[in-house]
Protein backbone atom coordinates (compact mmCIF):
# COMPACT_ATOMS: atom_id res chain seq x y z
CA UNK A 1 0.00 0.00 0.00
CA UNK A 2 1.41 3.31 -1.08
CA UNK A 3 -0.37 5.51 1.45
CA UNK A 4 1.62 8.01 3.44
CA UNK A 5 0.30 10.87 5.52
CA UNK A 6 2.69 13.41 7.00
CA UNK A 7 2.11 15.78 9.88
CA UNK A 8 4.67 18.22 11.22
CA UNK A 9 6.35 15.49 13.33
CA UNK A 10 4.90 12.17 12.20
CA UNK A 11 4.56 9.85 9.24
CA UNK A 12 1.48 7.63 9.12
CA UNK A 13 1.73 4.62 6.83
CA UNK A 14 0.25 1.13 6.64
CA UNK A 15 2.07 -1.31 8.93
CA UNK A 16 4.64 -3.79 7.66
CA UNK A 17 6.34 -6.83 9.14
CA UNK A 18 9.31 -4.59 9.92
CA UNK A 19 7.16 -2.98 12.66
CA UNK A 20 6.87 -6.22 14.63
CA UNK A 21 9.79 -5.73 17.03
CA UNK A 22 8.69 -2.27 18.18
CA UNK A 23 5.02 -3.23 18.29
CA UNK A 24 5.80 -6.36 20.31
CA UNK A 25 7.88 -4.29 22.72
CA UNK A 26 4.98 -1.87 23.25
CA UNK A 27 2.65 -4.79 23.93
CA UNK A 28 4.91 -6.13 26.71
CA UNK A 29 4.70 -2.80 28.56
CA UNK A 30 1.83 -3.16 31.04
CA UNK A 31 1.08 0.57 31.20
CA UNK A 32 1.07 0.99 27.41
CA UNK A 33 -0.96 -2.17 26.76
CA UNK A 34 -3.49 -2.25 29.60
CA UNK A 35 -6.25 -0.41 27.72
CA UNK A 36 -5.60 -1.95 24.28
CA UNK A 37 -6.04 -5.63 25.01
CA UNK A 38 -3.43 -6.07 27.71
CA UNK A 39 0.08 -7.43 27.70
CA UNK A 40 0.60 -10.05 25.03
CA UNK A 41 3.45 -12.24 23.91
CA UNK A 42 5.21 -11.61 20.63
CA UNK A 43 3.29 -14.43 18.91
CA UNK A 44 -0.05 -12.78 19.70
CA UNK A 45 1.29 -9.38 18.69
CA UNK A 46 2.32 -10.93 15.37
CA UNK A 47 -1.29 -12.02 14.89
CA UNK A 48 -2.53 -8.50 15.71
CA UNK A 49 -0.07 -6.99 13.23
CA UNK A 50 -1.16 -9.46 10.55
CA UNK A 51 -4.79 -8.52 11.25
CA UNK A 52 -3.96 -4.86 10.59
CA UNK A 53 -2.00 -5.70 7.43
CA UNK A 54 -4.82 -7.97 6.25
CA UNK A 55 -7.44 -5.30 6.91
CA UNK A 56 -5.51 -2.88 4.72
CA UNK A 57 -5.63 -5.39 1.87
CA UNK A 58 -9.21 -6.59 2.39
CA UNK A 59 -10.94 -3.34 3.41
CA UNK A 60 -8.59 -0.60 2.22
CA UNK A 61 -7.97 0.74 5.71
CA UNK A 62 -6.75 -0.11 9.20
CA UNK A 63 -4.63 1.60 11.77
CA UNK A 64 -1.46 3.26 10.53
CA UNK A 65 1.98 2.72 11.92
CA UNK A 66 3.17 5.98 13.48
CA UNK A 67 6.74 6.91 12.63
CA UNK A 68 8.55 9.75 14.36
CA UNK A 69 10.00 11.90 11.57
CA UNK A 70 13.03 13.10 13.50
CA UNK A 71 14.26 9.57 14.29
CA UNK A 72 12.49 7.21 11.86
CA UNK A 73 11.39 5.22 14.91
CA UNK A 74 8.05 3.34 15.12
CA UNK A 75 6.22 4.98 18.04
CA UNK A 76 2.74 3.52 17.85
CA UNK A 77 -0.31 2.75 15.83
CA UNK A 78 -3.42 4.79 15.24
CA UNK A 79 -6.18 5.42 12.80
CA UNK A 80 -9.32 3.92 11.34
CA UNK A 81 -10.59 0.62 12.67
CA UNK A 82 -13.87 -1.25 12.27
CA UNK A 83 -13.77 -4.99 12.94
CA UNK A 84 -16.94 -7.00 12.44
CA UNK A 85 -19.47 -6.13 15.14
CA UNK A 86 -17.58 -3.01 16.25
CA UNK A 87 -19.78 -0.24 17.71
CA UNK A 88 -18.89 2.22 14.94
CA UNK A 89 -16.25 3.63 12.65
CA UNK A 90 -13.38 4.17 15.05
CA UNK A 91 -10.26 6.28 15.09
CA UNK A 92 -8.09 4.71 17.78
CA UNK A 93 -4.57 5.26 19.06
CA UNK A 94 -1.76 3.67 21.04
CA UNK A 95 1.62 5.32 21.50
CA UNK A 96 4.74 3.87 23.15
CA UNK A 97 5.05 5.06 26.71
CA UNK A 98 8.28 7.05 26.37
CA UNK A 99 6.45 9.25 23.83
CA UNK A 100 3.42 9.97 26.01
CA UNK A 101 2.84 13.65 26.62
CA UNK A 102 4.36 14.75 23.30
CA UNK A 103 0.99 15.21 21.61
CA UNK A 104 1.56 12.45 19.06
CA UNK A 105 -1.86 10.80 19.59
CA UNK A 106 -3.93 13.91 18.84
CA UNK A 107 -1.59 15.04 16.06
CA UNK A 108 -1.84 11.68 14.30
CA UNK A 109 -5.54 11.26 15.07
CA UNK A 110 -6.34 14.60 13.43
CA UNK A 111 -4.62 13.48 10.23
CA UNK A 112 -6.25 10.03 10.39
CA UNK A 113 -9.70 11.52 11.00
CA UNK A 114 -9.31 13.88 8.04
CA UNK A 115 -8.28 10.89 5.92
CA UNK A 116 -11.23 8.74 7.11
CA UNK A 117 -13.76 11.46 6.39
CA UNK A 118 -12.21 12.55 3.08
CA UNK A 119 -10.99 9.24 1.61
CA UNK A 120 -13.23 6.63 3.23
CA UNK A 121 -16.37 8.77 3.19
CA UNK A 122 -17.14 8.16 6.85
CA UNK A 123 -19.87 10.34 8.34
CA UNK A 124 -19.07 9.65 12.00
CA UNK A 125 -16.12 8.61 14.14
CA UNK A 126 -15.99 7.01 17.55
CA UNK A 127 -13.28 6.24 20.07
CA UNK A 128 -13.82 3.20 22.31
CA UNK A 129 -12.27 4.27 25.61
CA UNK A 130 -12.08 2.47 28.94
CA UNK A 131 -13.65 4.72 31.62
CA UNK A 132 -10.37 4.54 33.59
CA UNK A 133 -8.25 5.70 30.63
CA UNK A 134 -8.01 9.38 31.49
CA UNK A 135 -5.22 10.05 28.98
CA UNK A 136 -7.30 8.80 26.04
CA UNK A 137 -10.29 10.76 27.28
CA UNK A 138 -8.09 13.88 27.14
CA UNK A 139 -7.07 13.04 23.56
CA UNK A 140 -10.74 12.57 22.60
CA UNK A 141 -11.58 15.97 24.12
CA UNK A 142 -8.71 17.61 22.21
CA UNK A 143 -10.22 16.14 19.05
CA UNK A 144 -13.59 17.68 19.92
CA UNK A 145 -15.31 14.37 20.64
CA UNK A 146 -17.87 13.97 23.39
CA UNK A 147 -18.69 11.01 25.60
CA UNK A 148 -21.82 9.43 24.12
CA UNK A 149 -22.16 6.88 26.92
CA UNK A 150 -21.44 3.23 27.53
CA UNK A 151 -20.94 0.77 24.71
CA UNK A 152 -19.94 -2.81 24.04
CA UNK A 153 -17.29 -4.39 21.89
CA UNK A 154 -17.89 -7.71 20.13
CA UNK A 155 -16.60 -11.02 21.52
CA UNK A 156 -14.03 -11.82 22.77
CA UNK A 157 -13.95 -8.30 24.26
CA UNK A 158 -17.67 -8.16 25.11
CA UNK A 159 -17.02 -8.00 28.86
CA UNK A 160 -14.77 -4.95 28.52
CA UNK A 161 -16.48 -1.79 29.77
CA UNK A 162 -16.05 1.13 27.39
CA UNK A 163 -17.39 4.57 26.82
CA UNK A 164 -18.10 5.59 23.25
CA UNK A 165 -16.69 9.01 22.46
CA UNK A 166 -17.29 10.55 19.07
CA UNK A 167 -18.52 13.16 16.68
CA UNK A 168 -20.06 13.51 13.24
CA UNK A 169 -18.23 14.60 10.11
CA UNK A 170 -20.19 17.87 10.19
CA UNK A 171 -19.12 18.52 13.80
CA UNK A 172 -15.51 17.73 12.83
CA UNK A 173 -15.54 20.11 9.90
CA UNK A 174 -17.05 22.86 12.02
CA UNK A 175 -14.71 22.45 15.02
CA UNK A 176 -11.61 20.67 13.64
CA UNK A 177 -8.69 21.22 16.04
CA UNK A 178 -5.44 22.59 14.68
CA UNK A 179 -1.98 23.37 15.92
CA UNK A 180 -1.76 20.51 18.41
CA UNK A 181 1.82 19.63 17.49
CA UNK A 182 3.28 22.97 18.61
Q: Which domains does the chain have, with CATH numbers?
A: 5-175 (3.40.630.30)
Task: Identify the pLDDT of residue 179.
Answer: 58
158 exposed, middle or buried (CB, 10 Å; 0-12, 13-18, 19+)? exposed
Residue 11 has pLDDT above 50, yes or no: yes
Say which range, 12-21, 103-112, 172-181, has the weakest mean pLDDT. 172-181
DSSP 122: -
Sequence-separated contacts (24+) of 113-118 with Cβ below 8 Å: 113/143, 113/172, 114/176, 115/5, 115/12, 115/79, 115/80, 116/61, 116/79, 116/80, 116/89, 116/91, 117/169, 117/172, 117/173
Gap between the Cα atoms of 53 and 15, Å rounded? 6
Check: CB of residue 142 under 8 Å from CB of residue 176: no
pLDDT in tens, 48-77: 999 999 999 999 999 999 999 999 999 999
pLDDT in tens, 96-138: 999 999 999 999 999 999 999 999 999 999 999 999 999 999 9
Check: CB of residue 65 under 8 Å from CB of residue 49: no
Task: Identify the pLDDT of residue 182.
Answer: 35
- Measured CA angle at 53 (ends 68, 66), to 5 deg: 10
Check: CB of residue 33 under 8 Å from CB of residue 25: no
Task: Identify the pLDDT of residue 178.
Answer: 80
Share of the chain above pLDDT 90, in %: 95
Residue 30 has pLDDT above 50, yes or no: yes
Amino acid sequence: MDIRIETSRLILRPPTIDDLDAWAEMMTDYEAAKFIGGVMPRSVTWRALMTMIGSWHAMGFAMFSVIEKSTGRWVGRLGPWQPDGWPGTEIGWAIVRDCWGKGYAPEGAIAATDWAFDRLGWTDVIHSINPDNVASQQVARKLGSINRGRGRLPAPFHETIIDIWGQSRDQWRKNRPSGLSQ
